[in-house]
Structure 1
Amino acid sequence: MLPARESTAALLLVLLVGDVVAVTRYRRDVDWRLIRGLLPGLLPGLVLGTWLLSVLSDTAMQRGLGVILLLLTGLQLAMRRRRAGSDAPVRPWPWPARLGVGTAAGTTTMVANAGGPVMALYLLGQAVEKKRFVGTNAWFFFLINLTKLPFSAGLGLLEPRLLLLALVLAPCVLVGAALGITLIKRIRQQAFELAVLGAAALSAVVLLVT
């Protein structure tokens, strides 16, 4: 319905509504250690994403994000296959990997609010339990989205009509949040992980073909 740049700003405002619900509901289910490991790469990623928004076309941004997400999904599947049947504990990722994930999350979320799959694949790689997954993810993106507001304002993207659009869509976000809270209680861990991987792969395909 909107060009890529304007849709980024509109979705940012809508996402913040969901973020508030998520961090309130899962305020105790957060692993700050995992979040701190990504912070060094986050600001460079946001700056890089802001620059890409100013120079790349909508199509180029979509295709680039699709390729990145597809590669990360393939990497995560390979890692899961390698760990299958192994009783070895999951080791924390080394700092270069965390730096790369933080930068990728900052860049993709700034360009198209597409940092969710990047963060999801990182948390799956750390074998995070589903409630801790949701809580850590919620707090990470709540802080990111607040940080993104001045960047979006600096690009002139936060127009009054987008604020109105976010207000109209807010009730839908609340309904979705209620459904998500119900689902997370019922879904098994393995099914949850497969659903996350499937959603990441689907996001990549949509970005590549639309």
Structure 2
Amino acid sequence: MIDQWLFYLLAVPVVLLVGLSKGGFGGGLGSLAVPVLSLAVDPRLAAAVLLPILCSMDLVSLWSFRGQWDKRNLKIMFPGAMLGLALGAAMFTYMDANMIRLMVGLMALYFVGHYLWGRHILQRVAVQKASVVRGSFWSSIAGFVSYIAHAGGPPISIYLLPQHLPRTLFVGTTVLFFSVVNFIKLVPYVAMGQLDLSAFVTSLVLLPLAPIGVRLGVFLHHRVSDTWFYGVCYLLLAVAGLKLVGESVLVWFGG
């Protein structure tokens, strides 16, 4: 089991925040978890610890939003996601810890940028319908980054948000999509030894926080402003992303 105090100091609020996000705010904060925890441990270990916790959150979220999802979009998105997961698993084998740290940091900064400018751009985009081409592309990106860093939320948002789905339908669709993706990820994570006994025991220690965060997110679904909630969380993501990129660059250039 991980015994670093800094890891748990970061992990407790991170698990609660991700649970809040999955329970009531579209699940976009999966992109927060791995970058922040990578400040304390290897990003591969951070991703492994988080996966069983995310799966348990998915079960609670599925029950909370049962039946409230867009079937047409899901039929489009699942094949692309499977392709992205396969590519992520294949590439993961050849990456060292510093390369993954750099990738996670760059993802974090990109997602912060998408959050800051995405809403402004969205206001100027005409309402779009479900699209096989766009849905397949963005879901494959989501599958890839989800495998590497559980960060598939922003690519899926890029695809779904222009459709202006009702808020509950949007959240329910993302809940079902990432539930399937996360449970499928368990297979290669275990097969390649990424989810070992140490990571699994650490997951069990943090697991009681998962349903608390999700249920709190469901409760706050119509009570807390998305802008306030995500503003604070993406500030944390920006700090983590800058630190990870900076550390990776220093390692490679002999700092």
Distance in 2 between the 1:159 and 1:8 partners?
Answer: 12
Over aligned residues, Cα RMSD in angstroms?
2.7
Aligned-pair CA distance for 1:159: 1.5
Change over 3 Å in CA distance of 1:122–1:181 after alignment to 2:
same
Distance in 2 between the 1:125 and 1:194 partners?
Answer: 21
Q: SS of the counterpart of 2:207?
A: helix
Aligned-pair CA distance for 1:93: 5.2
Change over 3 Å in CA distance of 1:116–1:49 after alignment to 2:
same
Instruction: Indicate the residue corresponding to 1:178 in structure 2.
Output: 215
Q: SS of the counterpart of 1:41?
A: helix
Give the gaps of 5 or more residues in structure 2. 1-6, 8-40, 245-255
Change over 3 Å in CA distance of 1:165–1:73 after alignment to 2:
closer
Instruction: Output the TM-score relative to the length of structure 2.
Output: 0.69
Counterpart residue type for residue 203 of structure 1: L
Give the gaps of 5 or more residues in structure 1. none
Matched, 1:53 2:92: yes
Distance in 2 between the 1:92 and 1:44 partners?
Answer: 23
Counterpart residue type for residue 237 of structure 2: S
Distance in 1 between the 2:122 and 2:48 partners?
Answer: 39
Instruction: Output the TM-score relative to the length of structure 1.
Output: 0.82
Distance in 1 between the 2:213 and 2:184 partners?
Answer: 24
**Mapped contact 2:108–2:241 kept (Cα < 8 A):** no
Instruction: Indicate the residue corresponding to 2:162 in structure 1.
Output: 125
Change over 3 Å in CA distance of 1:52–1:199 after alignment to 2:
farther
- CA-to-partner distance for each residue in 1:161-208, whole Å, 9 max, x for gaps? 322222221111111112101110213xxx426755875675365234
- CA-to-partner distance for each residue in 1:87-117, whole Å, 9 max, x for gaps? x861125433222211111111111111123
Q: SS of the counterpart of 1:38?
A: helix
Identity %: 28
Give the count of matched residue pairs: 205
